[in-house]
Structure 1
């Protein structure tokens, strides 16, 4: 039976040392907390670490040890950041179409600016030829979001230089300086 007394003595001294360490850390934490003005801003990783340890502690221990936040906050962090939900919400898909990539949005804007006579359907078709499936309604939304009017209004803003460049193939044989008719 002497080994039982020895074991009780060793475990008792270890428990006493852990209790003293814990008491020291709680006191140190309170002193440091009193030196800090305002609210602490914690990152999710820090919240997660506190939540994992705080969940393992009992309610009384959380109330005496937790000085940064309320004990219920630790449990809320655990529910939000650590515990896995069993309602399947992590597997649910979001509603609606996936968002348009900035690259495709830039292509829509470039095509619309370079081809002022092209409407939503034609821009959508051009993108389809490039391998991007974009509906005409999406093209319309992108152009509206960036302040570009529909093709009918964009046609009215065409300059002579743009007109000549767009119709260069048909204008090659024309003479703009010769006037036909009576003088």
Structure 2
């Protein structure tokens, strides 16, 4: 084991020296350092986490590098092909439409609220009917939702008094009805006299 490790190290050192002797440039030294770093990282990281920008750069560089030098890559040709298939699939996959009804245009919502404000006695069905007459086919439930989200009460509540106002106005009459009674039916033998 130790002999093979020494042999491997000696072989790599000789390759580096041979490479330096051939070219004698700083670029080659840098390439050897980078190759050594890649070899160390391959031993430590089983599967690197690549960002989309990393994938684009590696795919572009793979086109420039001859196939016999692809051993320098830490991704295989099959991985590059898979990235390409995924890119094409994403390009040709149409966006999914949201389920449900399409949203109502802002101008139609404003028109519904304007009709309700200018005609306080109209309910949501009357507003919907007027919209249909104007050429805006809209469901009555949609008109109701627009009014409800805007905080507009249904038609009867918009024009009439609140419960507190109603009870205050009717308090005297309610009080009189509860405490005073009038017998209006003649009892037998009473001679048709009305008693209070």
Shorter-chain-normalised TM-score: which range? 0.3 to 0.5
Question: Greater Rg, structure 1 or structure 2?
Answer: 2
When normalised by structure 1's length, the TM-score is: 0.43
